[in-house]
Amino acid sequence: MIDTSAPEVVARGRARARRRSNLVALVLAAVLVAGAAVALSLGRGFVPLDDVLSTLAGQGSRSTNYVILELKLPRVLAAVLVGLAFGVSGAIFQTLLGNPLASPDVIGISTGASAAAVLCIVAFGLSGTVVSVVALAGALATAAVMYLLTWRGGVTGSRLVLVGIGVAAILLGVVSYLMTRAQVATAQDALVWLTGSLNGRGWDDVWPLAVLLALLLPAVAALSRVLNVLRMGDDSAKGLGVSVEPSRLGLLVCAVALAGAATAAAGPVAFVALLAAPIGRRLARDGTPALLVSGLVGAAVVLLADFAAQNLPGLPQYPVGVLTGSVGAPYLLWLLARANRAGKGG
């Protein structure tokens, strides 16, 4: 029998849990790199892998420079960043509100962005960066309204989810109304935006998103320890010295901004925020909110779905949201069915 002291047992347990989530994160990162390599090389505008690498290293020909650096790379990066933002945002929402349905696309944050964007496209005939900025503003404004409607000397998860679903229903009505009033051509533009699409995403879309993520993700990382403690209930968290309301507000702002930024860049890509976190938590299995792993899962899902959407037979290019939606909805049903059987009901 090996004699080990108690603190060592504790330390080894912690190391084991850390090793597992690190390993999961590494594997997902490898999947991302492989997925990016496939997306850059295969599909429309095939470029052999060694040419992809040499082009990335700055030694491409004029044609590979154009295909890789101007067409494919920004789209791949946009997919990864959008997925990352949705994944982390969904994980924060679900953990903070203690509800697996509480993701930005279900509780109206993405709908708020959509309503603002569609208003821009249909009523004012705008396009491009302006739509993105307005969409982000729409997400933040929707969240602010929801927070105020939910506030009763504090914000509880279930109330916020219900208020959010109500707000989402109203905003969907607004979107539908705008669509019926629109010309066919603008309605089609709006519809593509609403489905969530990475078609034609260039560096102009990647940079603002990258800058926003560079600001938001460190803030999330700093607040993740608080999020860990908030999960044990407000009383326990307060007892451990957490300033519950300011921390929760800070985390909500980060999560809303992440979802808003991703929606602004690619439209409300269906189900990514809802799905990435449960998958991430199941992979990490360490009792933490698994923010990093969820973000990587989101990135991998959007990257692979977008690649598939571009290369499916039939239409020239499906919007990525069609694929994430058609894969996501069955998963959601399965999740609900399973939760009910386990007596948790969500």
Task: Determine the length of the chain.
Answer: 346
Fill in the amino acid letter for 87.
Answer: G
* 109 Cβ contact partners less than 8 Å away, ≥ 6 residues apart: 139, 142, 143, 164, 256, 259, 260, 263
Least separation in angstroms between CB 71 and another protein: 42
**Opening angle at CA 25, ends 230 and 232, nearest 5:** 10
If the CB atoms of residues 149 and 229 are measured against another protein, the closer one turns out to be: 229
- Please state, in angstroms and rounded to a whole number, the distance separating the CA atoms of residues 110 and 272: 11
Of 115-154, binders to another protein (CB under 8 A) are none
Interface residue with another protein, options 59, 63, 183, 243 (CB under 8 A): 243
Of 6-35, binders to another protein (CB under 8 A) are 6-11, 13-14, 16-17
Q: Pick the stretch among 59-67, 140-148, 262-270, 280-288 that binds another protein (CB under 8 A).
A: 280-288
Least separation in angstroms between CB 281 and another protein: 7
- Tell me whether residue 286 is exposed, middle or buried, using C-beta atoms within 10 angstroms of its C-beta: 0 to 12, 13 to 18, 19 or more: middle
Residue 221 in the binding site for another protein (CB under 8 A)? no
Q: Pick the stretch among 75-83, 131-139, 227-235, 265-273 that binds another protein (CB under 8 A).
A: 227-235
Q: Pick the stretch among 22-30, 134-142, 278-286, 321-329 that binds another protein (CB under 8 A).
A: 278-286
If the CB atoms of residues 3 and 235 are measured against another protein, the closer one turns out to be: 235
CA dihedral (126, 128, 131, 132) in degrees, to 10, reads: -170
Interface residue with another protein, options 222, 312, 333, 337 (CB under 8 A): 222
Least separation in angstroms between CB 286 and another protein: 7
Residue 233 in the binding site for another protein (CB under 8 A)? yes
Interface residue with another protein, options 72, 75, 248, 281 (CB under 8 A): 281
CA dihedral (249, 253, 258, 263) in degrees, to 10, reads: 120
Interface residue with another protein, options 240, 249, 312, 333 (CB under 8 A): 240
Residue 337 in the binding site for another protein (CB under 8 A)? no
Residue 99 in the binding site for another protein (CB under 8 A)? no
- Tell me whether residue 229 is exposed, middle or buried, using C-beta atoms within 10 angstroms of its C-beta: 0 to 12, 13 to 18, 19 or more: middle
Query: Helices (DSSP H) in the chain: which residue ranges?
Result: 6-41, 49-56, 62-64, 73-97, 109-118, 124, 129-150, 157-181, 184-195, 203-230, 234-239, 244-266, 272-284, 291-311, 320-341
Least separation in angstroms between CB 146 and another protein: 22
Q: For residue 97, what are its two tokens?
A: 């509100």
Interface residue with another protein, options 65, 158, 188, 236 (CB under 8 A): 236
If the CB atoms of residues 114 and 247 are measured against another protein, the closer one turns out to be: 247
If the CB atoms of residues 227 and 320 are measured against another protein, the closer one turns out to be: 227
Choose among 150, 174, 145, 151: nearest CA to 161.
150
- Please state, in angstroms and rounded to a whole number, the distance separating the CA atoms of residues 208 and 203: 9
> What is the contact surface with another protein in residues (CB under 8 A)?
5-11, 13-14, 16-17, 98, 222, 225, 228-229, 231-233, 235-236, 238-243, 281, 285-287
